[in-house]
Amino acid sequence: MLEGLRAGQTPFTGAQTYVMLLTMTKKSTKAPAKKTAAKAPAQEEAKPSRNAGKEGGSGKVAKTQLVEMVADKANLTKKQSEEAVSAMLGVIVDAIKGGQSVGLPGLGTLSVKQTAARTGVRPGTSERIQIPAGKKVAFKVASTLKSSLGVTDDAAAE
């Protein structure tokens, strides 16, 4: 291929030729890979799984996991549970879009709040900017949930 380039034949554009030459002449900056012995089965089991910690309280519960939990608790099929969860989330979103508050017993209340126009600072340049008034979704945690978690009002205000 290089012989064709030297002979004046240009099967590629200048940019393509330049990139090809760079990739052909560039030396690898990676250290040579070390040969290691095959991992023992005990070492592979010790690795944390992808969903590690999700059931123990840390991490985020995804919609698919929520669907599985609802299916188990309500003795529904996963398809029925997925339809129920999707319908409930859709109703909540529609109500919030309509400006209504949504009370979830034992959990809290979702509501839409107005924000006032204010002056802010752009982080990169320290330039003062005007932030327009708008709306935001607020969540007020139910007192029963707060008390069961041991959250005080002082800690919730922070």
Judge residue 67's burial from the number of C-beta atoms within 10 Å of its C-beta, 0-12 exposed, 13-18 middle, 19 or more buried. Answer: buried
What confidence tens digit (pLDDT) does each residue in 67-103 have? 999 999 999 999 999 999 999 999 999 999 999 999 9
Q: Minimal CA–CA distance to 23: which of 54, 47, 1?
A: 1
Beta bridge partners of 113: 136
Q: Are 144 and 109 in contact (CB under 8 A)?
A: no
Q: Is 123 left (phi over 0), alpha (psi -120 to 50) or beta?
A: alpha
Look at residue 14 in the predicted model and tell me its pLDDT: 53
Look at residue 152 in the predicted model and tell me its pLDDT: 74
Whether pLDDT at 157 is above 90: no
What confidence tens digit (pLDDT) does each residue in 98-138 have? 999 999 999 999 999 999 999 999 998 999 999 999 999 99
